[in-house]
Amino acid sequence: MNPYLLLAVFWVLYCAFHSLTAALWFKRWAASWMGRFYRAYRVLYNAIAVWMAVALIRFQFSIDPTWLFPPTLFTQLSGGVLMLNGVGIVVVALRNYSAEFFGVKKLLGQEPEPSLVQTGLLSRVRHPLYLGTLLVIWGGVVLDPRLSHLLVDIILTLYVFIGIVLEERKLILQFGDTYRQYRQRVPMLLPRIGSEN
């Protein structure tokens, strides 16, 4: 099989698995099936997602490169700057989510009350993790301009926008008008320049 087609299929399956296991109905089913062990669900979800992503990235790099354009010092520096900014945004954004995002509190038996965080980066954009991810992946294709990277970036970018739609539906169900007002006030991915929220 063509390695690019196989790579695309694997990433699409990864995205589908990720959405399925994040869906509320699936989590309710998992809670009934896992019983008291459900408190480890988020930690397992994250561990499996990371393991699968690493395996896919290794496969992606194993494909003989077809170059989109010859890399230059300028493209490598530009790509590196985009990636570093993306990583910085992800790191800062994760500080807002703390141990709840990784499932550590639930694993330890703590049930934090769900709250809609609207401070830090979340006061500037609704989805800083997605913004950071997009900067990392697109910076990566500028830094290392392989066809395989472009293919994966297109798939992941589409998935990010699908993920935003699905996530915002869940947040409206969870927080109602509070989230609707937040969504009207704060942009999705690109902060407004020179405006205060």
Q: Are 174 and 27 in contact (CB under 8 A)?
A: no
Distance between CA 189 and CA 197 in Å, rounded? 14
> Mean pLDDT per 10-residue run, the chain (197 residues)?
94 94 90 89 90 96 93 96 97 74 62 77 93 97 96 97 92 92 94 68
Give the closest residue to 186 by CA, choosing from 130, 135, 115, 122. 122
> Residue 107: what pLDDT?
62
Distances (CA, A) of 146 to 20, 34, 61, 196: 30, 42, 9, 39
Distances (CA, A) of 180 to 71, 89, 101, 132, 184: 44, 24, 22, 23, 6
> Residue 42: what pLDDT?
86
pLDDT tens-digit map of 67-122 = 999 999 999 999 999 999 999 999 998 887 655 666 666 666 666 667 788 888 89
Question: Could you please report the per-residue DSSP string of the chain?
Answer: --HHHHHHHHHHHHHHHHHHHHSHHHHHHHHHHHGGGGGGHHHHHHHHHHHHHHHHHHHHHHSPP-BSS---HHHHHHHHHHHHHHHHHHHHHHHHHHHHHHTHHHHTT--PPP----SGGGGT-S-HHHHHHHHHHHHHHHHS-BHHHHHHHHHHHHHHHHHHHHHHHHHHHHHTHHHHHHHHHS-SSSPPTT---
Distance between CA 11 and CA 70 in Å, rounded? 26
Domain ranges of the chain: 3-185
Look up the pTM and report it: 0.88
> Residue 49: what pLDDT?
93
* CATH fold group of domain 3-185: Four Helix Bundle (Hemerythrin (Met), subunit A) (1.20.120)
> Residue 119: what pLDDT?
85
